[in-house]
Amino acid sequence: MTDTTGAPGGRLPSALRTEALEQLLTERGLIDPKVIDGIVTTYETNVGPLNGAKVVAKAWTDPEYRRRLLADGTAAIKELGFSGPMGWHIVVVENTPTTHNVVVCTLCSCYPWPVLGLPPSWYKDPSYRARVVKEPRRVLSEMGLDLDEDVEITVRDSTSEVRWLVLPERPAGTEHLTEEELVPLVTRDAMVGVAKVAAP
């Protein structure tokens, strides 16, 4: 039998196997693809990033919580009820006017799921993973974030042992906002370090 897949041992790549399995289960009426899509969307855009936004807003408005968060991210995040798989050891680093942190996983796509949900496709892309380490300022600029030359950029490499979360700068003009009002301003990209939080 001729191997036409191009994969080692003639096996289909995992993405194709997953798609084939989903199609088979759908045809047999065992799963509803709309439900699956809804779950994925929830974790990509709502549940995860919303959890992280709550952590950031709390740190912006509660100096004592911010201190605990920077000292032991995992424990402080757990205080708010966010923990579980992919969130066993989260280290939080703070962006300031003179220092900027950006997160990558050069080996795969390790990511703090409890506070950010599922990793976006660009985070898993080999180009981002390779280039942001070598030329972070240029990659950030291409993603829409232009930093002054005097801002020091540190690239944080997530691993299966340590996952990083960025505490972004609180935007000017938000001093009057409550913790609850700040939450919607915080984006997933700001907590990865490829964007800043914009003022309302």
From the candidates 14, 83, 105, 127, which is the catalytic residue?
A: 105
From the candidates 14, 110, 121, 141, which is the catalytic residue?
A: 110
Show Cβ contacts of residue 11 under 8 Å, excluding neighbours closer than 6 positions.
5, 17
Does residue 105 carry a catalytic annotation? yes
From the candidates 108, 121, 141, 160, which is the catalytic residue?
A: 108
Sign of CA dihedral 102, 106, 109, 115: negative
From the candidates 83, 109, 141, 158, which is the catalytic residue?
A: 109
Does residue 83 carry a catalytic annotation? no
What residues are annotated to the active site? 105, 108-110
